[in-house]
Structure 1
Amino acid sequence: MHDAAQHPSRSLKSSLPWLSGIITGLISGVFLGFFLKAVQALTGEKVYTLLLNIDFVPGLPAHLPEWFEFSLHLGVSVVIGIFYIWWINRSGHPLSRGICLGAVSSLLYIPLAPLSTRVPDLNDVGAVLYWSAGHIVFGVVLGLCGKYVHAKKRPLVQ
């Protein structure tokens, strides 16, 4: 009999990567947030402000508490983490897939930067480089978490 039929809970667990994705997204999002906060503190480039910026969302107050904006950032990271774990469960290659997602998510600078006067301009090369580096760090952390999750799923050789 097929393993999924014998062990439906295992099948459900592998098809819905919720917990692994949530944890992966939280860890990666925290690394990205702390990295960009440190860069902003050290250089003055407002890349952390850009990460948390939601000025463009209609109906929200102009300024929200940092913890609330950071929570929204982590929510996006969790969605990415769930998608990422689902993706590597089907295709493997956790590190390269993580870096790919980090690189692709760095492209959000292009539509987000013009939406607020509080963040660096698209022409600010330093900010673009810091933002990109932070998102590559995000991708590497995704990849490392994914390698760990992937290694835990491999059957033990006896």
Structure 2
Amino acid sequence: MKLKKGLLNASLDGIISGILLTIFFKSVEYLTTYKVYTLLLNVDYIPFLNQYKLTEIVEVILHLIVSVALSMCLYILVHYMKMTSQRKIILIYIFVCFIFGILIFPTTALSTRTPSITSIPSLTYWLAGHLLYGYTLGFSITRRLIALFSSNQK
């Protein structure tokens, strides 16, 4: 039962962290013209979805679905590893989100709307955003996990 509640909370944390990432990238794109927000929402390379002209809100919702799924997967991983160190949990989240950012960035080559794959500033903003996302997600999850494991030990 506690895992089910934890997953629900992880979903909420995924939405909140995903919205923060969205705001960060939208701000970067607005202030610098580097198209990292466009890249975040880009579905040009996904079969079926690339056949439709999606609205910005639908693209944000798709991003949030991915954020929730990632948050839940990481929560399950840390839950079953019974990690209680806030520092270790946050570092795992940061590491996974950074790697996720590295793996997704090359999809920019599959669209004409996104930054050039050789754009170092875009890559820097992209990875900084994913580090921020990993930290905020990890920080919010650790409060719940540590409370869960503390109550189990009583």
TM superposition score category, shorter chain reference = 0.7 to 0.9
2:151 to 119, 142, 155: 155
Q: State the Cα deviation string for residues 74-93 of structure 1 (Å, max 9, x = none).
A: 00000001011111112323
Question: What's the counterpart of residue 104 of structure 1?
Answer: 99
Partner of 1:120: 115
Q: CA deviation at 1:17?
A: 3.9
Deviation for aligned residue 1:103: 0.8
What is the deviation of 1:113?
A: 0.8
Write out aligned runs for 1:7-156 (5 A). 12-14=1-3, 17-60=6-49, 61-91=51-81, 92=83, 93-153=88-148, 154-155=150-151
Structure with a larger share of its residues in helix: 2
Gaps of 5+ in 2: none
1:156 Cα shift?
A: 8.4
- Between stretches 64-73 and 15-24, larger displacement belongs to 15-24
8 Å Cα contact 2:105-2:123 kept in structure 1:
no
Number of residues of Structure 1 aligned to a counterpart in Structure 2: 147
Report the secondary structure of 2:151's partner residue: coil
- Whole-angstrom distance in 2 between the partners of 1:59 and 1:85: 30
Q: Which moved more, 1:38-47 or 1:100-109?
A: 100-109
> Which amino acid in structure 2 is aligned with residue 31 of structure 1?
L
Taking structure 2 as the reference length, the TM-score comes to: 0.87
Unmatched segments (≥5 aa) in structure 1: 1-11
Q: Deviations over 1:14-53 (max 9, x none)?
A: 2674202211211111111111011001100000000000
Q: Which amino acid aligns with 2:74?
A: Y
Q: Bigger radius of gyration, 1 or 2? A: 1
Q: Given the two structures, how large is their TM-score scaled by the length of structure 1?
A: 0.84
TM-aligned CA deviation for residue 57 of structure 1: 2.2
Change (3 A) 1:156 1:109: closer
Label 1:157 to 1:15 Cα distance change in 2 as closer, same or farther (>3 A).
Answer: closer
